[in-house]
Structure 1
């Protein structure tokens, strides 16, 4: 469990994901894939592609971040999002964070990220995340929270946040 993250402000909380959360996580992933809904094809085909991509993402996260922790974000005990976090030996990596459509743009992401920043600060570790180049709302949020461009890629940029510049000079 993340210290101090079980009871966040505004009725938010994080809890470890359970096997029973899989249908919620699949539906959440589906809600984030408007790009795949543009595929010209029957609805059933599009849904099967989205499901296949969800399974591929899940497997990919498991391979790339075998020690990642999977959390469900709740508001007043109702599931509204997820956060996948890898506490590596030299950095805290926010692998994924997503919210259901009705919960987006309400500051919940900032609240969860601030809790993770506090933990990264206690660990004196930088915090890393990737963001799609075209995800302007998320990019603005990350910039306001002190994230800086670390590496630019074709579709995604890697951003970094340093908890304390003096402490980070030791790395």
Structure 2
């Protein structure tokens, strides 16, 4: 992601071991659904931790070459992005922000930077979104992503850089 300028005081850097506490905090914030479990707080915390471990293991198995990034605003971590850059595809595996950073255009800025990276190597960009997440789907659609496959509860969406758009349209 070198050479890509991010607006809004944002910076993206590679995730390191010392980011573990932030990533755990972010996972807790993202998985609010797990906080609603009617059980002792310790049990709920254990379930949230297990979900994070399962997600981490799943990503590393499915995407062994993925890269993990921390999104910062003025040197403070506000989000993460997990991306698999293959030879012919940029796959956004996961992107998440702390609640205080949502709705401020940070996700859009990061996505646009990733689209610039994909355009530089003439590779389409792929992501999955929960079907019920209308806010995210609208953002992705506004950036030119189109639904490619629906596999409930997710939709796989794809974006083609300008160099590939006419090719992809001819294939449809």
What's the TM-score bracket when you normalise by the shorter of the two chains?
A: over 0.9
Q: CA deviation at 1:169?
A: 6.8
**Counterparts of 2:77 and 2:170, CA distance in 1:** 39
In the alignment, which residue of structure 2 is the partner of 1:166? Answer: 166
**Residue number in structure 2 paired with 1:103:** 101
Which of 2, 5, 8 is the matching residue for 2:6?
8
Displacement of 1:57: 0.3
| C-alpha distance in structure 2 between counterparts of 1:169 and 1:134, whole Å | 27
**Pairing 1:76–2:37 present:** no
Gap runs ≥5 in structure 1: none
Cα deviation code 1:36-93 (max 9, x no counterpart): 1121111111111000000110011000000011000000110000011100122100
Aligned CA RMSD, in angstroms, stands at 1.5
CA contact (8 A) 1:148 1:159 kept: yes
1:94-126 CA distance string (max 9 Å, x none): 000000000011100000000000010111111
2:149 to 137, 140, 151: 151
Whether the 8 Å contact between 1:81 and 1:97 is mirrored in structure 2 is: yes
Aligned partners of 1:36, 1:149: CA distance in 2, in Å? Answer: 28
